[in-house]
Every structure is written in C-alpha cells, then in structure tokens.
Structure 1
Amino acid sequence: MQDFSDKAIILRVGRFREADLWLRMFTPQHGLLTAFAFGGSRSRKRFLGCLDPFNLVHFGFSRSRSGTYLSLTEGTLLDGHRGLRNAPARLGPAANCMKFFEAVHVEPETSAAGFSLLRDTLDAIEHCETLSPIFPILFRLRVAFEQGYGPCLGTCSQCGKDLKTSVAPSLLVEAGCMICEDCSPGSGRRIAMSRGAVAVLEQVRTEAPLTWGSLSPQGADRRSLYDAADSFVRWHLGLKWEDGRFLRI
C-alpha cells in the first residue's frame, strides 16, 4: 500500500510513548485502521484539534519502510462534534454505538456505506431535538440489517400474509425472518413482535438515523426490540455486551 489520504472517524486514542499516540479509526475507502501519530500529543501544526474520539478528520497516511504499520503525516479537522461534547448525556450513547461498530467486522466492499452510517449516527445523536432512550439498540439493529441479516418485514415468510394485518407477528432469530400468528415457527428462537414494534423495525431499516430520535416504544414493544437486537447480535454477528464492551462469543 502506497501513501494515501482518506477521511476517518476516530474511534479510540491511546498513548504509547510520552509524545506519541495510536489511533483506531474507520475510513470509507480502507475500512478499520490503526495508525500512529508520532509527536501527536505535542503537535500544534500537523494535527491541530484532530486527535480526539468522535472527530471526523481528513488524514494523510504513510506506511513504514518495513510495511508493518501506518503513521499519520497530517490531519485536517472536518467536524469535531462540539455539540455532542457539550451534551454529556449524549456521550454515553455515542460511545456505545462506536464500540459496537468497532466490534462488528465490516467487509471492505461495504466500508463506504458503513462509514456513512456511522457519520450519520453521530450527527443524529448530536442534533436530534430529543434522543430516543434506546438509540444504541436501534443502531445495533440497523448495523445487523446493513450486514444482510434484516428480515423482510412486510410479509410472512411462510404464507405471504401482509404483516400489517397480522395481530401477533413473530421474529424467527436463527432464520432471520418474520411469520404471522397462523404459521408454525418450527425450531429455534421466536420473539413475539407487536405491529408497533414491527413499525419501529421498518423505520430503522429504511430511514436515516436522524429520524430515530423520537422513537420511544414502551412496555412490551421496548422489551421485544431489546430482545431482537440482543438475539440478532449474538446469533448472527457473534457479539455480546459484557463489562462495558462487546466481546466475541
């Protein structure tokens, strides 16, 4: 790989020597990268205001002579998400979304779409007038959908019935599909979903994160969405939330 430049959303930053930093970031052209910012903690010219989590930055990258690591040559801050940093209650949901996104393996051919989703998600958390209390759960569902695990929400996968007329549709986790109340689920995990919960899934699947802010399902709807997200993430993406981080199962 030759020297290159790319936009990046910074996921994590760490120090490994007195003045040097390492950065974990996601880029639209090269996917998930780790690079070193030598002298980054003291730089007032090459990385001014750039080296913080949540930042959207245009970086220059250089590969070492041995080809074993990347270093950052310079950076231009594109968006520091100042509004997000000034709203402590929103930092937690944003960090949770970023941790989940980092843990999910995004194929190189879908890097551009993944980058757009992550950027739009941070923008939504920053700018939504009200933020859904289950926003990170909605984000996990959308990522699962983007990875190809989203069920068809319009019709029963067995009989073709319009699920808008179904009284008690269900999500079959392992099969990744929906059935109506008249069809047999067979073996595997089945999660009962109301029409309201299915409507939330459809909005998350088809609309931009900026529209999710007002989604605040209650009671059984909220529990079924939590259950659906947790089950899909465990079964299809192989991840679980434990001790403040996502771990491979």
Structure 2
Amino acid sequence: MQDFIDKALILRVGRFREADLWLRLFTPQRGLLTAFAFGGSRSRRRFVGCLDALNVVSFLFQPNKTGTYLALGEGNLLKGRRGLRKSSKRLGFAANCVKFFEAVHVEPEESEKSFVLLDQALDTIESEDRISPLFPMLFRLRTAFEQGYGPSLDTCSQCGKVLKTAVAPTLFVEEGRILCGECSSAGGRRVPLNGRVLSILEHVCRNTPEAWCSLELAGEDRRIIYDAVDSLVRWHLGLKWEDGRFLRT
C-alpha cells in the first residue's frame, strides 16, 4: 500500500506514549480510519495547529511496511473550529453529533455524502446565532435517512394517501414505515404523528443543517420528534444514548 494524501475530519485524539498521539478520523474517500502521529504532541513543523478534535486537515498517510497501521507524515490545516471551544453548549452539541456519527457504521460508498453532512453540521453549530436544543436529534434523524433507514414521509406506504393531510398518520417502528389512520398493521411499537411533525421531518431530510435552525417546534411536536427518532435509532441502528455515549442495544 502506497502513501496517500486525503483530507480528514478529526473525531478523537488520544495519547499513547509521551510524545505520540492516535487519531480517529473520517475521510470522504475511505471512511473511518485510525492513524498515529508519532511525535505529534511535540512537533512544531509537521502538524502546526492541526491535531485538535473537529479540525479538518489534509494529511499525508504513510502505511507501515506490513500495512497493519497508518502513520501521519504531515498535516495541513484546512479548517479549524476555535469558535466551538469557546462555548460549552455548542461543544456539547458537536460532541453528541460526532459520537453518534462514529457509532453508526458508514459504508465506504456513502463516505463522501456523510462527510459533507457532518462537516456542515459542525459549521452550523459553530456559526449560527441560534441553535435548536433538538439539533443533535435532528442530526441523528438525517443520518439515519442517509443510511437508508428512514420511512417515506410523503404517502402512506400501504394505500398511497398523502400523509400530511391524512387522518392519524402513525410510524410503525419495527416495520420502518408510516401508515395513515385508515390502514392497519400487525402492531408493535407505534408513534402517532401529525402534519406539522411530518413537515418538520421532511424539512430536515431535504435541507442542509443550516436550514434546521429556523424551525419553530411546539412542545408536543418536540416530544413526538424525539420519540420517533429515538425509536428508529434504537430499533434500526441498534444505538441508545446512555451515560454520555452511544451504546449498542
């Protein structure tokens, strides 16, 4: 395997010897990677301002002779996110999104699209004046849809009626589909929806993260969205948020 250059978003950084660091990275071409920056904590030339979590960096990747690990030869900072580190609330939102993203298994063919989504989400959290408390949950929703786990939001999957104007649309979690009130299903976990919630879900899935900040969510709608997204993520992605991290259910 030859050396290669690729840009990467740094998800996590850790120390494993006095001067050496390991990095968990996500790249648009190769997906999730772990690489080692030997001497990275002391380097003043090879990694100037690069090795902080959430930065986007162009790295020179150097496989070892047996191809068992990747070393980082040098890095060029493309995007730093100092603004995130100035606000504990924004940093918490960013950390939640990154932890979820890392827990989801992204197929290589989906890497570029997923990279863009995460990068846009972090830009939004850093720069927008107002961020919805539901932003991390909306990010989970969009990520689930990007991975193919989202139900159709337009029409009842059984009779084809338009869901926004249908009576009592309901999400059937295990089946991963939404039915109108006139159609029945075998049962299982159900989340009652409404036209407003369906419009919000559609808005999130069809627009960039920057556009999510303008969403106005009533208390009941927030509860429904949280319940729907949490149920889909638990059942179809096998993940739950517990003790500050995502665990396999």
- Bin for the TM-score computed over the shorter chain: over 0.9
Give the structure 2 partner of residue 197 of structure 1.
197
Question: Take 1:221 and 1:181, find their aligned partners in 2: how far apart are those partners?
Answer: 18
**Residue 82 of structure 1: SS of its match in structure 2?**
coil
Task: Tell me what 1:174 maps to.
Answer: 174
**Matched-pair contact (CA < 8 Å) for 1:133–1:216:** no
Asked whether the equivalents of residues 26 and 32 of structure 1 are also in contact (C-alpha less than 8 Å), the reply is yes
Write out aligned runs for 1:1-249 (5 A).
1-249=1-249
Counterpart of 2:17, as a letter, is: R
- Deviation digits for residues 22-70 of structure 1 (CA, Å, limit 9, x no counterpart): 0001000110000000000011110000001110111010001121110
Runs of 4+ in 1 over 4 A off after TM superposition: none
Q: What is the alpha-carbon root mean square deviation over aligned residues? A: 1.1
In 1, distance between residues paired with 2:226 and 2:64? 44
**Partner of 1:10: helix, strand, or coil?**
strand
- Aligned 8 A contact 1:10 1:53 in 2: yes
Q: Which amino acid aligns with 1:162?
A: V
Encode CA deviations 1:213-237: one digit per residue, 9 max, x unaligned. Answer: 1224222211111111111111111
Give TM-score scaled by structure 1 length: 0.97
Rounded to whole Å, the distance in 1 between the matches of 2:102 and 2:68 is: 21
Matched letter for residue 163 of structure 2:
L
Contact 1:11 1:24 in 2 (8 A): yes
CA contact (8 A) 1:167 1:195 kept: no
- CA separation in 2, counterparts of 1:114 and 1:2? 25
Gaps of 5+ in 1: none
1: CA distance, partners of 2:76 / 2:223: 43
Q: Is the 8 A contact 1:234 1:240 kept in 2?
A: yes
Specify the code of the residue in structure 2 equivalent to 1:161.
K
CA distance in 1, matches of 2:16, 2:155: 53
C-alpha distance in structure 2 between counterparts of 1:36 and 1:100, whole Å: 23
* Contact in 1 for aligned 2:164/2:194 (Cα 8 Å): no
Question: Where do 5+ consecutive residues of structure 2 fail to align?
Answer: none
Aligned residues: 249
